[in-house]
Amino acid sequence: MTDDGKRYRLSRRRVLAGLGGVGLASAAAGLGTSAYLTDTESFEDNTITAGTLDLKVDWEEHYSYPQIYGFEDPTAGLDVTRSEPADTSSYTALPDPNTPMVWVHDDDLDAYMDNTAIEAYPDQDDDGIQESFNMGDVGSFCADGADTPSDLDPTEGFRTQNEDTMGASEPNPLVNLNDVKPGDFGELTLSFHLCDNDGYVWMQGDLVEANENGITEPEGNSSDAGPSDETVTDLQGGDVELLDEVQTALWYDGDCNNVFSAGGGGSTDGEEADVVIVLDRSGSMSGSAITQAQNGANSLIDALGPNDQVSLVSFADDVSLDEGLTTDHNAVQNAVNAISTGGGTNMEAGVEQAHEELFAADEFGSAYGESGNARSGARKIVVFLSDGNANEDSGVTDSPSEDPVNEAGNLKSDNAEVFTIAYGSGAPTGTLGDMASDPASNPEDQYAFDADTSDVESVFQGIGGTVGSGGEEPIFRGTLRESLVELTAGDGIALDGDTSTEERACFTASQTSCVGFAWWVPTDVGNEIQSDSVAFDLGFYTEQCRNNDNPGS
């Protein structure tokens, strides 16, 4: 109340006007504080992206009677026999060393395998022989590895296109054999790759259908003939004889060469290897020479076990460590495919860089870099290819010498094994022979090779099978019915990413892993199989490795 006794009344308009004044005063005060020191930190554009686990496959299939598809006799001019040789030490038994159908002399094995290859993926020239990834129109495993069933179409992708793969109206299945006889055999090596993440892998299969397809007159005279109209879809029953007469073998094909090697293959006792591939990229290696050498180096890498490390060194006037020792074999293959040619031939520097990488002990001070990934307990191996005489000096040791033999000697003194390939007619076979390790230390081994563009890939692949720790271990042997029972049970046959340990291991992303599947019809099988047919599935299943304590559950 005021002094004059009158009540002071606030209208709504006056209240709003007053609040407006307060607001203006606050705004003015805010302008007055803008000179203080301030700071803002922000974390913007945060994302969470789900990872991927993508399984890719590729393959090469062989059949002992490819003539049915128009091929020539695969044994013509080769030492191949169905009778066991008196001395089997120089022969390879196929398709299973435990129960051979043929023996092929080791000198003729590559030719025989090429002659019996009926289809592959990738195969751009349709000759049935598998080609390397990252070559021609084919990209990396994860870009152009096969997804099924889409990539089974030869007209759309990189599967061989021939009488075996092309049906009248649609592509044929992977195994498509219509005239099998006793004594026939075949083999399929399936290769798989995990993209982006490690994973557990199972091999799976199932019976689609087995049919008697009637009884021929000779089959009817057989005491083993079953009902003429029988169709079987259950592995637990039925009498379709072919299902029980076809014999099979599954194995880890450590060098991915479609051959089940007796004695395990690979290096002794599964010893892991550190391998440095040294490639000449001088000007004389241009054109097809470097392309074939790249194919060969990639074949060697494919033949290594998942725990083998590999590195790439290349040289011309200079030398470079293109990829340090790693179990990421795909990364090294990418480096191999990226090589370009030009310049002189500094062989000495190539040997020295390999020495530095393998032993990670500053062998040459600061002259060469190293990845630091060399392992003290691993087998140390150098595979060295050159096509010409040394004409550049490294300037690091015994300058101005251009002779790499002394440096190779130092490498061997540190217990490294040196394999050399004299590539082409101009290669210095004497120098490269002196650089190589002495085969007298192991008479069964060979360390110095001569090769040209037509056979350098097989030379590299053979070295890979010798030095790799991948090994060849059986997974299962039995009839086709018994194999399918194993492949059907649960999640299938659990595959092991590292067979050198007792515990089952995951498969590493970007690694190449191969499983061989061989089949054969023994010669003592009789008429009871006439006209029988079997259709079946094969495949792989994967689960992520990370955070998975109970795989397959």
- What's the pLDDT score for residue 308? 87
pTM, full prediction? 0.67
CA triple 150-155-160, angle to 5 deg: 90
Sheet containing 91-94, strands listed edge to edge, beginning at the edge strand earlier in sequence: 80-81, 102-105, 91-94
Encode pLDDT of 89-127 as tens digits. 889 999 999 899 999 999 999 999 999 999 999 999 999
Let me know if residue 189 belongs to a domain. Answer: yes
Residue percentage of the chain with pLDDT more than 90: 54
The CATH number covering residue 346 comes to 3.40.50.410
Assess if residue 4 is contained within a domain.
no
- Give 429: exposed, middle or buried? Use CB within 10 Å, 0-12, 13-18, 19+: middle
221 vs 343, higher pLDDT: 343
Q: 361 pairs with which residues across the strands?
A: none
Sheet with 379-386: list strands edge to edge.
Answer: 319-326, 309-315, 273-280, 379-386, 417-423, 448-451
* DSSP H stretches of helix in 326-453: 329-337, 347-359, 405-413, 429-435
Residues 390 and 479 in one domain: no
- Residue 226: pLDDT over 90: no
Mean pLDDT, the chain, as a whole number? 85
Residues 444, 484 within the same domain:
no
From 408, 437, 467, the end of a domain falls on 467
Same domain, 460 and 482: no
Instruction: Tell which residue, 520, 515, 519, 518, has the closest CA to residue 494.
Output: 515
Domain boundary among 443, 467, 491: 467
Give strand ranges (E) for 244-286: 247-253, 273-280
Bigger pLDDT: 435 or 216?
435
The domain of 324 spans 270-467
Per-residue pLDDT for 290 more than 50?
A: yes
Q: What is the largest CA-CA distance in the chain?
A: 139
Mean of pLDDT values over 234-257: 89
Confidence band for 8, pLDDT divided at 50, 70 and 90:
very low
In the block, residue with structure tokens 């999640």? 491
**26 domain residue, yes or no:** no
Q: Per-residue pLDDT for 264 more than 50?
A: no
Residue after which a domain boundary falls, among 424, 440, 467: 467
Place of tokens 């990488």: 357
* Token couple for 130: 């598998």
pLDDT at res. 116: 97
